[in-house]
Amino acid sequence: MVRAIDFRYLTDVLTREQAVDMLRKQEDGKAERLESALQNKAVPAYNTSAGWLGQSDEQVTELIKSAVRQGFRHFKLKVGLGLEADRKRLGLVRETVGDKGVLMADVNQLWDVDDAIEYMKQLADMKLWYVFFALVYINPSVFTLFRFIEEPTSLDDILGHSKIRKALKPYGIGVATGEHVNNRVMFKQLLQADALDAVQLDACRLASINEILSVLLMSAKFGVPVVPHSGGAGMVELCSHASTIDFVSVSGKQAILEYTDHLHEAFEAPAAITEDGMHMSPTVPEYSCDVEESEFVKCECPQGSFWQSEVGQKMLADPWRGVLGEQTSD
């Protein structure tokens, strides 16, 4: 594993020798963790499809109820509609999932640093130890805690994230970011600056599993859980590998992983969850990102069957296709 990693620019934080030592220490209990993974008990899933800003309160409530029936216990919502609107929506979801449901929130870089601090302070009276508290466990005596508000400010503002984290820590609210971070050096700096309570690496922005491994090891050294961003087509397939590797071999601790239920049927080794809301551990060799040949036949433009359909023809004829706010075709 260590041979696959490029340690350039990281050795002030993590050397090859330190990485080897960390992995050797995780050999204790590794067989048991591997068995848990083979039984699909390694990575709890959280639902992020039920809390988009464009959805009505009624839609969010119904989607949350559906997610509960699917076995989810962890839920993430978008916030930033305004203080009272956010308060109302969080209250509706809390009422739906009960006190045992775990709620998290995503801001998508909406605020300036000081605005993020003040906004979250104003939500502190809403029992934020429930709203932004995630408890995931291997067994009742071994657990990892993380509380976070996701992407409160610009992805590039390392010191801003650090300031927000420090200011919100007394309120039990931590900071998570990383889905837009595109290299291991920036993750190194975020960790050095004590800016993170959860590392949300993106498997498509980093340089494949080689760079991901370096981020897993640095995160484990700093004691920060890795909670990958997997909110796009094929992302769950990719990130389930990263989370499982982290659990079995690197940190030895469970952490939740995002699950979005769309387009899995397009892949030869599709991601899935169990009835109790756990990710199915990947067992097929390679990276689970091979697309079914039938999808190319269907979607290759312009000769694919989709593009020959009524909807496809309408899209091809739309001069504004792909332009946000201007596209007229569905």
Strands of 70-154, DSSP E: 74-78, 102-106, 134-139, 142-146, 149-150
Three-state secondary structure call for residue 27: coil
| Rounded Cα gap, residues 96 and 68, in angstroms | 9
DSSP labels for 13-24?
Answer: T--HHHHHHHHH
Residue 325's pLDDT band, with cuts at 50, 70 and 90, is: confident
Q: Is the Cβ–Cβ distance between 2 and 19 less than 8 Å?
A: yes
| Rounded Cα gap, residues 303 and 282, in angstroms | 33
Predicted TM-score of the model (pTM): 0.88
Categorise residue 235: left if φ over 0, alpha if ψ from -120 to 50, beta otherwise: alpha
Burial category of 40 from C-beta neighbours within 10 Å (exposed 0-12, middle 13-18, buried 19 and up): middle
Query: pLDDT by residue (tens digit) across 194-234?
Result: 999 999 999 999 988 999 999 999 999 999 999 999 988 89
- The whole-number pLDDT of residue 143 equals 32
The vertex-296 CA angle with 291 and 302, nearest 5°, equals 150
Per-residue pLDDT for 182 more than 70? yes
Q: Two tokens at 103?
A: 């709620």
What sign for the dihedral angle of Cα 74, 78, 80, 81? negative
Residue 295's pLDDT band, with cuts at 50, 70 and 90, is: very high
Question: What's 286's DSSP letter?
Answer: S
Structural domains of the chain sorted by starting position, each given as residue range(s) with its CATH number in brackets: 2-291 (3.20.20.120), 292-330 (no CATH)
Residue 148's pLDDT band, with cuts at 50, 70 and 90, is: low
**CA-based nearest residue to 109, from 161, 57, 168:** 161
| Rounded Cα gap, residues 258 and 235, in angstroms | 9
Average pLDDT rounded to a whole number, residues 49-71: 85
Average pLDDT across the chain, whole number:
87
**Which residues are annotated as catalytic?**
78, 229
**Other CB atoms within 10 A of residue 287 CB:** 15
- Crossing angle between the packed helical segments 158-168 and 113-122, to the nearest 10 degrees: 20
DSSP labels for 217-253?
Answer: HHHHHHT--B--B--STTHHHHHHHHHHHIIIIIS--
Per-residue pLDDT for 128 more than 60? no
236 vs 64, 107, 258, 264, CA distance in Å?
20, 21, 7, 9
